[in-house]
Amino acid sequence: MTSAPSLWAITRRSLVKDLRLEWRSKDAINSMLFFALLVVVIFSFGFDPTAEESRKIAGGLLWVAILFATVVALNQTWMRELRNQVLDAYRLSPAPPQALFLAKTLGNFMFVSILEVLMVPLFVVFYNLRSVGPVWQLLVVALLATWALVVNGTFFAALSIRTRSREIMLPLILFPISIPALLAMVDATTSILTGDNPATFWIRLLAVYDLVFTTVGLILFEPVLNAE
């Protein structure tokens, strides 16, 4: 008798499948990128800041743009699995639901990270950004903040595909819960860009947020997947 594959092996396989699908279709990445680009351009019409002002508002604009774009990608995460009843197959299989949740979250984390890598230079150019504080901290903030958005986003996307009017449901339940994380990522980014305050408290808060909601998500995903 062969031993059952480990949780990590199943997660990896599911993730590889998602990445391959995305690589071939580029559905999520393309729509997310174009959407984010539109938001950035529209924002820059809405505000016309000087270099000093833009340091203060860029954190907010950047994360709001990423939040909106993330929702676009998240809405497609589980949609794929609804076609051909893949989700039902998951339910019947003995694979642990946590593996599926982890794979989806990691996949979204990668997509949003790619988006950020492409968006940040654009922001720097459009808003004439030059950071006053320690720039390496922005990387920590970006990693923690992206995880905070996608871990809850992936979970709530799984909730919202079960409802009528799926697409609109996700932001309605994701945004209120994400308010503290959004506050933390925006203020951390602004603190670093302006160099006025240390960002340590916000980074710690993001880490706590990530830890708490990753745990809760892993525990509660099983009932959500099997909800009839």
Give yes or no for residue 224 binding another protein (CB under 8 A). Answer: yes
Q: Which residues from 137-166 bind another protein, rule CB under 8 A?
A: 152, 155-156, 159, 162-165
Give yes or no for residue 223 binding another protein (CB under 8 A). Answer: yes
Q: CB–CB of 112/150 below 8 Å?
A: yes
The tokens describing 103, both together, are: 């794979």
Q: CB–CB of 115/29 below 8 Å?
A: yes
CB within 8 Å of 65: residues ≥ 6 apart: 36, 39, 40, 43, 119
Give yes or no for residue 172 binding another protein (CB under 8 A). Answer: yes
Give yes or no for residue 50 binding another protein (CB under 8 A). Answer: no
Give yes or no for residue 74 binding another protein (CB under 8 A). Answer: no
Is residue 129 exposed (0-12), middle (13-18) or buried (19+ Cβ within 10 Å)? middle
Q: Please select the residue that binds another protein; options are 110, 120, 183, 218, rule is CB under 8 A.
A: 183
Give yes or no for residue 187 binding another protein (CB under 8 A). Answer: yes
Give yes or no for residue 218 binding another protein (CB under 8 A). Answer: no
Q: CB–CB of 150/106 below 8 Å?
A: no
Query: Which one, 9 or 212, has the nearer CB to another protein?
Result: 212
Q: Please select the residue that binds another protein; options are 4, 16, 89, 216, rule is CB under 8 A.
A: 216
